[in-house]
Amino acid sequence: MTSALNWVLAVNPVPWARSQMALTLAFHIVLVPLGVAWGFITLIANWRAIKKDDADALLLAQRWSKYMAVTFAVGAVTGTVLSFEFGLLWPRFMGRFGDAFGIPFAIEGLFFFLEAIFLAVYIYGWKRLKPWPHFWTGVPIVVAGIGGTVSVVAANAWMNEPAGFTVNSAGKVVDVDPWGVIFNKAMPLQSLHMLVAAYLVGGFLVASVYAWGMVRGRRDRYHRIGFLIPFTLAAIAMPFQMLVGDEMARWVYNNEPVKFAAIEMVPKTSTDVPETLFGHLNAAGTKVEGGIPIPGLASILSDPATGTSTQIQGLDSFPKNARPTNAEVDVVHLAWDVMVGLGTFLFLLSLWFFASWVFKRRMPRSKLFLWIAAAAGVLSVVTLEAGWVVTEVGRQPWIVRNYMKVEQAATANTGVWITFIVALLVYVGLAVTVILVLRQMSRRWREGDAEAEVDEGGPYGPRLTPAPETPKELVP
């Protein structure tokens, strides 16, 4: 008993705390795009339903709002877990910097409140509210989603670019400038990057469900609209994200050279740096092994004005205890490759979509396109997760860059490995359950459509006709 207890007490909480934070954040970040973008997507369908008396669009909007009720509930509670974890896992970080770091969260709290209130009104208001007032109760959801994203990312950006406070000799925060905290240097681009990402992922994710339906032969008008609204939104956001991402990378090059060295996997300061696809650092961290180098490209992209003669600071120009470990560099670089690679792939998919509209005046009909579009949902989530890994692992070993290291921030509670295992089991169960419940809802509705028995109609709009049994042509 005593030895078992000693063993429990001897476990270092830091790696477990990191794992638990990573797990719960990785889960929550998938729900974020749905919370932020799905409301907007639903409102487009809702608007079309009222304006054009479109029964399919109305049905989509109603069903989307029902799905959203589920994903929002799960997002709300997993978000709450994160609030607890700030304190449970990183009490020394919160104790020291809560008075600066907390400010953007106070603002986020406002937006979260608004979102929860109006989402409830919108979801439950279909039957008894008049069409236009009901539509307008959905608008605060969109505004709150945008405001909430910007506020939370402002807090994360602050960890990358801490500003707006002064510390005394004991390291205690003695003076805070709230504007400086919120509008830290990393905030504008990082918030924009995440906001566009939320719309991208939300769009691709919702569209992928209907693309899959079309792959399976359900090529009716209902599926086409269900695909076109979210996919068009994502496809519009995609080129914009390429520009924002490019700008962001150059910003990191200029402002966070350590992270940039990890991203590009540059062991030694040099010019004419190749862009290496994949690969890893050797054991000593002095050389890149494996991978496919594209000569000079990293230098050219970092500053096109100076081209291959652009110098990139290498990892060796920073002290070992103030930069990511070799293993972390490998992770950051791989995540970077995945993000940029998949991002480019989704960008090309968007081009395909637009090209079809320009040249053929309709969306691409080929099975290949639909297959890829069906995969785009999951791929965009992977892209999002990879981007988040880049910014978080790339900041290591710091939790507040140049002020506090992760290990200084962690809790002293040695039982974190237990809560990690419990959280892992609960979250895996939760993920499976969410997917099963959403699938079951969709199946039930489809069967209801087939039997044409269920009146899915709201109080307004045309009485809804069931989906046609014979597939219509894919013409707009």
Partner 1 sequence: MSDVVALILMVGITAYALFGGADFGAGFWDLTAGGTARGRTPRSVITHSIGPVWEANHVWLIFCLVVLWTAFSEAFASIMLTLFVPLSIAALGIVFRGSSFAFRKEVTRTSSQRNFGAAFATSSVIVPFCMGAVAGAIASGRVPAGGKAGDPWSSWINPTSILGGVLAVTVCAYLAAVYMVWDSKRLGDPDMVEYFRRRAVVSAVVTGVIAVAGIFVLHDDAIYVFHGLTSRALPLVILSALCGIGSMVLLLRSSQTGARLLAMGAVATVVLGWGVAQYPYILPTSMKLSAAAAPDATLWSVVIVFVIAAFVILPSLGLLYYLDQRDLLAAPAVEPGIDDHT
Report the site for partner 1 in 414-443 (rule: CB under 8 A).
Answer: 415, 419, 422-423, 426, 430, 433-434, 437, 440-441
105: contact with partner 1 by CB under 8 A = yes
81: contact with partner 1 by CB under 8 A = yes
77: contact with partner 1 by CB under 8 A = yes
**Continuous segment of H or E residues that includes residue 405:** strand 404-405
| Closest-CA residue to 187 (of 107, 299, 104) | 104
Q: Of residues 27-66, which lie at the interface with partner 1 (CB under 8 A)?
A: 62, 66
- Interface residue with partner 1, options 21, 45, 54, 85 (CB under 8 A): 85
271: contact with partner 1 by CB under 8 A = no
109: contact with partner 1 by CB under 8 A = yes
99: contact with partner 1 by CB under 8 A = yes
Residue 113 C-beta: closest distance to partner 1, Å = 5
312: helix, strand or coil: strand
Amino acid found at 195 = L
- Interface residue with partner 1, options 30, 100, 209, 214 (CB under 8 A): 100
84: contact with partner 1 by CB under 8 A = yes
Instruction: Report the residue number, 177 or 316, with the smaller CB distance to partner 1.
Output: 177
Adjacent-strand bridge partners of 276:
293
Instruction: Report the residue number, 1 or 358, with the smaller CB distance to partner 1.
Output: 1
The sign of the dihedral angle between the CA atoms of 51, 53, 56, 60 is: positive
Residue 392 C-beta: closest distance to partner 1, Å = 20
412: contact with partner 1 by CB under 8 A = yes
Task: Determine the angle formed by the axes of helices 55-89 and 13-52, rounding to 10 degrees.
Answer: 160
Instruction: Report the residue number, 177 or 303, with the smaller CB distance to partner 1.
Output: 177
CB 5 within 8 A of CB 405: no
16: contact with partner 1 by CB under 8 A = no
Instruction: Report the residue number, 63 or 333, with the smaller CB distance to partner 1.
Output: 63
Residue 148 C-beta: closest distance to partner 1, Å = 11
Q: Of residues 134-163, which lie at the interface with partner 1 (CB under 8 A)?
A: 140
Residue 376 C-beta: closest distance to partner 1, Å = 26
Q: How many CB atoms lie within 10 A of CB 315?
A: 23
97: contact with partner 1 by CB under 8 A = yes
Residue 162 C-beta: closest distance to partner 1, Å = 15
Among left, alpha and beta (phi > 0; psi -120 to 50; other), residue 53 is left
404: contact with partner 1 by CB under 8 A = no
CB 71 within 8 A of CB 34: yes
98: contact with partner 1 by CB under 8 A = yes
| Residue 189 in tokens | 């681009």
120: contact with partner 1 by CB under 8 A = yes
444: contact with partner 1 by CB under 8 A = yes
**Continuous segment of H or E residues that includes residue 458:** none
176: contact with partner 1 by CB under 8 A = yes
Contacts of 403 (CB under 8 A, 6+ apart): 97, 162, 167
Distance CA 181, CA 103 (A): 8
| Closest-CA residue to 56 (of 429, 382, 466) | 466
455: contact with partner 1 by CB under 8 A = yes
| Residue 441 in tokens | 């809802």
With residues binned 3-state (H G I as helix, E B as strand, rest as coil), the percentages for the chain, rounded to 5, are 70, 5, 25
| Residue 188 in tokens | 């504008």
- Three-class SS of 178-189: HHHHHCCCCHHH
Adjacent-strand bridge partners of 292:
277
Instruction: Report the residue number, 129 or 363, with the smaller CB distance to partner 1.
Output: 129
**Continuous segment of H or E residues that includes residue 174:** strand 173-176
| Closest-CA residue to 64 (of 85, 40, 97, 29) | 40
447: contact with partner 1 by CB under 8 A = no
- Interface residue with partner 1, options 11, 25, 50, 70 (CB under 8 A): 70
Place of tokens 């993920």: 431
Give how many residues touch partner 1 by CB under 8 A. Answer: 79
Instruction: Report the residue number, 26 or 114, with the smaller CB distance to partner 1.
Output: 114
Contacts of 312 (CB under 8 A, 6+ apart): 253, 260, 261, 264, 266, 269, 270, 271, 273, 298, 299, 302
| Closest-CA residue to 292 (of 337, 345, 339, 260) | 337
Read off the DSSP letter of residue 270: B
Residue 210 C-beta: closest distance to partner 1, Å = 20
CB-side neighbour CA atoms (13 Å) of 359: 7
Q: Of residues 306-345, which lie at the interface with partner 1 (CB under 8 A)?
A: none
Q: Which stretch binds partner 1 (CB under 8 A): 171-179, 268-276, 366-374, 394-402?
A: 171-179
Instruction: Report the residue number, 78 or 276, with the smaller CB distance to partner 1.
Output: 78
Instruction: Report the residue number, 9 or 358, with the smaller CB distance to partner 1.
Output: 9
Q: Of residues 224-253, which lie at the interface with partner 1 (CB under 8 A)?
A: none
Q: Which stretch binds partner 1 (CB under 8 A): 113-121, 212-220, 284-292, 314-322?
A: 113-121
Instruction: Report the residue number, 168 or 321, with the smaller CB distance to partner 1.
Output: 168
